[in-house]
Chain A
Amino acid sequence: MLKLAGVGAGYGPVQVLYDFDLEARAGEVLCLLGRNGAGKTTTLKAIMGLLPLSGGTVTLNGADITALPAHEVPKRGIGYVPQGRRLFSELTVSENIEIGLMARGNGRATRARVLEMFPRLSERLDQRAETLSGGEQQMLATARALCLEPSVLLLDEPTEGLQPSMIQLIRETVEAMRAQGVAIVLVEQRIEAVLTLSDRVAFIENGHSREVVDTSDLTAASPLLKKYVGV
């Protein structure tokens, strides 16, 4: 579904990713795992066209999307929930969702479906996003990305700083998306969440792609985790 082949990317003269390969399949959760600064968020930004690539290709269902302008990438069906949520704080919950409906989706039906997944947001439609709790903000950021009806969803540390009940809700959402055949690329630091949520784990080290393993082959004491994450 989503494939990165030989991708090189970075920030100006600083190269972060080197000859990076990754493949996410439909209906699976692929977790990108590595130490801080390994290049996980950079990978997501490279997929979204937010960083110029110094080499390699990004393809979605066989179509090359490498050279697309950044605002065209979501229209092809890739949703991105960045770390720290980044909502439009002055807009209301309703307006945040509306703004997510533009690129794809059939308006009202999509809106209703998304709100059904997050009933708590339905109760706060006229509330400004900045007044929501951390968990509700994460819900809204995820809901907004789902408005695109993505076939690939990129989630950057979605459970960061959330209380257990909210983490559970995010999990359920991820599982529901997976069941719908969406390919999910997850950046997550909490090993317990990685082991319970993902189907495969792709390790990343200093901007290089390393082993890709089935999660069922991993345990909390796996030497791979010690090698690439240090736990």
Chain B
Amino acid sequence: MSLSARSIALHMSLIAILFILCFTLSDYHQGNLARILVLATYAIGYNVLFGYTGLLSLGHAMFFAAGLYGLGLPMHLAGLAPLPAFVIGVLCAALLSALVALLALRTIGVAFMIVTLMFAQCVFLSILYFGTWTRGDEGFVIPQAARQIMGLDLTDPTTRYLAALLLFSTALLITARIMQQRFGHVLIAVRENEERTQMLGYDVFRHKFLAVVISGSISGAAGAAYGLLFGYVGATFASVQYSIFPLLWVLLGGAGTTIGPLVGAVFMFYLIDYSSGFTNAYMLIAGVALVLLVLFARSGIMGEIRKRWVPWLP
């Protein structure tokens, strides 16, 4: 079986398993997994930039928030329908990422991290500053009645799960496809050696720019979907904490692997969920787990599996 066929089989199997889980999990876990699927989509977006292109951003929450508020504000202030609001959310994230890319890609390494962090702080503080419309720290709720698309009630747990799965599957398959094509290979080449990539005739800036825009757009789609499916739009999602989360999920799951972002998000979510059941110091447990992973599985869960047992893993 060719690499490409194996990759398709793997991703389709994963989607099939997630679909079956929708009807076998308890309500509690179904709700959790729906949230994880949206956050894993956010991590998939982050993975395009960090895992494949090698650019470490500390400001991705701004793209998630651009999608969230791009969807939420038109619905909240102008009563726009969910579908066009979703498109506006994704467009906002795409535009913001293009703008950030034009400015931030003039820097490299640590400077790129700092510049993206600063941009994200600007977005976060702007949300607080324009509190008249955004409701600042408190945020706002998108009412249940507004969260309907073509007769489908997105507040229904099963519909919400399936919508989250649709979003996740789309992002997963798009990313997997991109990474099998020359454009994806060039992103990996940029990560491994920018100079060498230039020497093969590739415009490195253009590829990095596109990577930021694709990454920002997927993250924005996750943000817009989060607002739509869970009905809350708040400044917390633009805070630095939400820029660190996708980095952790991707590192845990395996940077530069297609399934790693989901594995990392599931692992982290349930580790915190489970440990918070018997101690208040649950972040300490999460921290210890992270240290252990860094010590013994530097490539993350899927990265180690690829390295040790399944070299064809995409």
Contacts and interface: CB of A to CB of B under 8 A. Distances in A.
What DSSP secondary structure best describes chain B's contact surface?
A: helix
A128 interface: yes
A4 B198 CA distance: 21
A102 B204 CA distance: 13
Contact of A102 (B193, B202, B311): B202
8 contacts: A82-B199, A90-B192, A91-B189, A98-B185, A99-B186, A102-B182, A126-B312, A144-B200
B188 A88 contact: yes
Given A90-B188, A126-B3, A80 B182 contact: no
A74 B188 CA distance: 19
Given A74-B199, A88-B188, A103-B202, 12 more contacts: A48-B199, A50-B195, A71-B198, A71-B202, A71-B203, A72-B201, A73-B199, A88-B192, A91-B189, A92-B3, A99-B182, A99-B185
Nearest to B207: A71
4 closest A-B pairs by CB: A103-B201, A74-B201, A70-B198, A71-B198
Interface of A: 48, 50, 69-75, 80, 82, 86, 88-92, 95, 98-100, 102-104, 126, 128, 131, 144, 148
Contacts of A80: 199
Contact of B311 (A48, A91, A128): A128
A69 B199 CA distance: 10
Interface string B169-197: 00000000000001001101100110110
Nearest to A128: B311
B256 interface: yes
Contact of A86 (B196, B203, B256, B312): B196
B200 A99 contact: yes
A106 B204 CA distance: 22
A213 B195 CA distance: 32
A148 B201 contact: yes
Interface residues of B, number: 20
Given A86-B193, A99-B182, A102-B182, A91 B188 contact: yes
Given A86-B193, A128-B311, A91 B185 contact: yes
B189 A88 contact: yes
A92 B193 CA distance: 15
Interface string B72-106: 00000000000000000000000000000000000
Contacts of B193: 86, 88
A161 B312 CA distance: 29
B3 A75 contact: no
Contacts of B203: 69, 71
Interface string B1-31: 0010000000000000000000000000000
A104 B196 contact: no
Given A50-B198, A74-B199, A99 B204 contact: no
A148 to B, nearest CB: 7
B232 to A, nearest CB: 39
A192 B111 CA distance: 47
B277 to A, nearest CB: 39
A143 B198 CA distance: 17
Nearest to A92: B3
Interface string B282-314: 000000000000000000000000000001100
A85 B256 CA distance: 23
Interface-centre pick from B182, B185, B312 (highest chain A CB count, 10 A)? B185
Nearest to A99: B185
A71 B189 contact: no
A130 B237 CA distance: 39
A95 B179 CA distance: 11
Nearest to A103: B201
Contacts of A128: 311
A72 B287 CA distance: 47
Nearest to B204: A71
Contacts of A131: 311
A44 to B, nearest CB: 10
Contacts of B196: 82, 86, 88
B209 to A, nearest CB: 14
A222 B188 CA distance: 47
Nearest to B3: A126
Contacts of A100: 200
A148 B196 CA distance: 13
A92 B6 CA distance: 15
Contacts of B199: 48, 50, 70, 73-74, 80, 82
A86 B197 CA distance: 10
Contacts of B201: 71-72, 74-75, 102-104, 148
